[in-house]
Structure 1
Amino acid sequence: MPLVPVKELLKKAEEGKYAVGAFNVNNMEIVQAILAAAEAERAPVIMQASQGAIKYAGIEYIYALASLAASQATVPVALHLDHGTSFEQCMKCIRVGFTSVMIDGSKLPLEENIALTNKVLEVARATGVSVEAELGKIGGTEDDIHVDEKEAFFTDPEEARYFVEKTGVDALAPSVGTAHGQYKGIPKLDFPRLEKIAQLVKIPLVLHGSSGVPDEAIQEAIRLGVRKVNIDTNIREAFTNTCREVLGKNPKEIDPRKVLGPAREAATQVIREKIRVFGSAGRA
């Protein structure tokens, strides 16, 4: 089946009160792992590419891999730009065939963030592409974007209401206590804030930096209105740790397939576990 817009998946997730997993892709093996996990769990899935992934693999390769995966899938697959920071980058992704883009204007003053989001929405609406926006900074490092912990600030619920009212965006990523990358301790999410935002905006919410957040905390966030959960670090850990193990046991191994094959399998298992946590298993 062709790639589907994220808003379609999130609409069904809202009806069923579960979340769809959005998993970052960097290479062929990870695309295959996401699809294998989604098929095994009979779950809708979002493949997403960050600026770093696009720089590494090339936008055409990312699109070709994801669209090939979708064409072979019996479950819905979407392709999303994660943390697009410019209008131009969003346009490139829409032009290539991405079915969803995120415009991250969270570092801008509120009115500038609204203006940038609306500029992207204007084109996206005409092409049937979903748009996610961000309000409030999410700490940590996501490829080239670094937000200092002290600089990270939580999303103001009233500001979120105003932002959604002025844009009509399809999904919103609020800052409620998660961070990108590996956590030093256990993150504490601000559930009252999340609940208030969900009540005021009445659109699907997105949880970024979810690797390392305890399962119960993710499930509580879903109960409060999160419909898309982003996972990247956990996949990287499973993938690279398995490569290390294989090469550690056989340092003379020179066949990439014997290294990357087990890594792909490890990533598949992690993604399957996440899909079950999100409640999207069996929802395809």
Structure 2
Amino acid sequence: MALVKMQDMLHHAYNNKYAVGSFDIVNLDQLQSIMNAAEACRAPVILGLSEPHTDYFDLALLANAVEAASRRSEVPVAIHYDHGSGIEGAVRGINYGCNGVMVDASHRSLEENITITKEVVAMAHTCGIPVEAELGYVPDSGDELVFTTVDEARGFVRLTGVDFLAVSIGTVHGRFSGKPQLDYPRLRHINEALQIPLVLHGSSGLNEDQLRRLIANGIAKVNAFTSITDRAAKLLRKNARAKDEGYLKLFTDVRAEMEEEATRLMRIWGCAGRAAEVFEQCDPWQPAIYEIRFNLPGTDAEEMALITRRGQQALIQIPGVRAIKAGESINSNTAPRYCWQIQLACAEVVEPLKQHPAFINFTRRYLNDDATDRTMAVYKEQA
């Protein structure tokens, strides 16, 4: 498995003054093009699943594809839940396989931003997962920009415990309507005050010199979407004007177009050629399995099916619980008869799981008094 801990990846980038690209994924063409570019460049990469984009795809299906691509990758990968609105989205992202989450309450008051971010940080850190937040406001093109201040940034990080901070220093999401006016001194002062990896949103439209100067002043993660998808859209329009040769022909060379742009950006950001040292210096991200084996004497098949349904409904909502598989021995002489495998984001989730009210209430009602031959074990998934 090529998944590595996102905090290790970004601290390596920060300490070595390069940036890792975070690409929000919306379909398989884009996923394949980004992975092809990263492997060709030997670059670490972050694959993003953005909450505002979930109207355009089935999150469960695309998350499975992103994780499958990560598992077979030849370069280090992290999976990031991007622009989450609060605790519910962050839990959903973690339970779908993300090992980094962003909470974006930058459009709210500073007090609300702190409160929401603290809640997400407390939950995610119990799962061993780092959190990115945004301070100031990086707007969509045409909206009013609110710069990040050094004093607010210092207090925000101290109060929330956030791991990475997206800063507003003159960029906008989407396309620039004019020439970017980037505040490099502001970024330098924020970096000096915080000494944590900083994040750039709204990178499309910046030239090579601007990007390198931003990275030299603390940017360790660069979000990229518009510059990639705009090239794809332009080619799709060109293909659509050609003679009608069917649906698939519309996508001719679209993947190669996105791959070319991603490759160009990875080389500018300085992450190209870094894969080997990132693998060497970053811990792998390893999902875990919490297994419970037990007997329930006197329980018939119908009762057991009801218990299983209620258990799955209760436990799947717990942060870090990714799936629950329930099985029954095919050999009636084998004890214990029942086996539950609770798939977890990582081994750090085990203790929070056992202390969660939903887990306590379920096991107290259905297992503690009646279950016999009960055994429990934790396994790390092998790469």
Calculate the TM-score normalised by the size of structure 2. 0.70
Alignment-mate amino acid for residue 138 of structure 1: V
For structure 1, list consecutive stretches of 5 or more residues without a partner in the other structure. 142-147
Look up the SS of the partner of 2:98 in the other structure. coil
Residue correspondence of structure 1 range 76-91 to structure 2 within 5 A:
76-91=76-91
Per-residue CA deviation, residues 195-226 of structure 1 (Å, 9 max, x unaligned), is: 01001111000000001111111110000000
Larger radius of gyration: 2
Look up the match of 1:182: 175
Larger helix fraction of residues: 1
Look up the SS of the partner of 2:253 in the other structure. helix
Alignment-mate amino acid for residue 43 of structure 1: A
CA distance in 2, matches of 1:133, 1:255: 40
Look up the SS of the partner of 2:80 in the other structure. strand
2:1 is equivalent to residue 8 of structure 1: no
CA distance in 1, matches of 2:125, 2:268: 32
CA shift for structure 1 position 261: 4.2
Alignment-mate amino acid for residue 137 of structure 2: K
CA shift for structure 1 position 167: 1.7
Residue correspondence of structure 1 range 103-118 to structure 2 within 5 A:
103-118=103-118
CA distance in 1, matches of 2:151, 2:61: 40
Alignment-mate amino acid for residue 103 of structure 1: V
Conserved 8 A contact 1:25-1:49: yes
Per-residue CA deviation, residues 80-131 of structure 1 (Å, 9 max, x unaligned), is: 1221112111111111111111001112222221121111111111112221
Conserved 8 A contact 1:5-1:128: no
Look up the match of 2:24: 24
Look up the match of 1:283: 274
Conserved 8 A contact 1:176-1:189: yes
Conserved 8 A contact 2:164-2:196: yes
- Count of residue correspondences: 275
* Identity in percent: 40
CA distance in 2, matches of 1:69, 1:134: 28
Look up the SS of the partner of 1:138 in the other structure. coil
Look up the match of 1:219: 212
Conserved 8 A contact 2:2-2:75: no
Residue correspondence of structure 1 range 215-254 to structure 2 within 5 A:
215-248=208-241, 250-254=242-246
Residue correspondence of structure 1 range 1-284 to structure 2 within 5 A:
1-140=1-140, 149-150=143-144, 152-248=145-241, 250-256=242-248, 258-284=249-275
CA distance in 1, matches of 2:92, 2:21: 24
CA shift for structure 1 position 168: 1.9
Alignment-mate amino acid for residue 253 of structure 2: P
Alignment-mate amino acid for residue 265 of structure 1: A
Larger RCO of the pair (alpha carbons < 8 Å, separation 6+): 1
Conserved 8 A contact 1:2-1:67: no
CA distance in 1, matches of 2:70, 2:110: 36
CA distance in 2, matches of 1:52, 1:266: 24
CA distance in 2, matches of 1:29, 1:5: 25
CA shift for structure 1 position 59: 1.4
Look up the SS of the partner of 2:140 in the other structure. strand
Look up the SS of the partner of 1:139 in the other structure. coil
Alignment-mate amino acid for residue 114 of structure 2: I
CA shift for structure 1 position 38: 0.2
CA distance in 2, matches of 1:128, 1:63: 19
CA distance in 2, matches of 1:282, 1:173: 25
Conserved 8 A contact 1:54-1:62: no
CA shift for structure 1 position 11: 1.2
RMSD: 1.3
CA shift for structure 1 position 58: 1.6
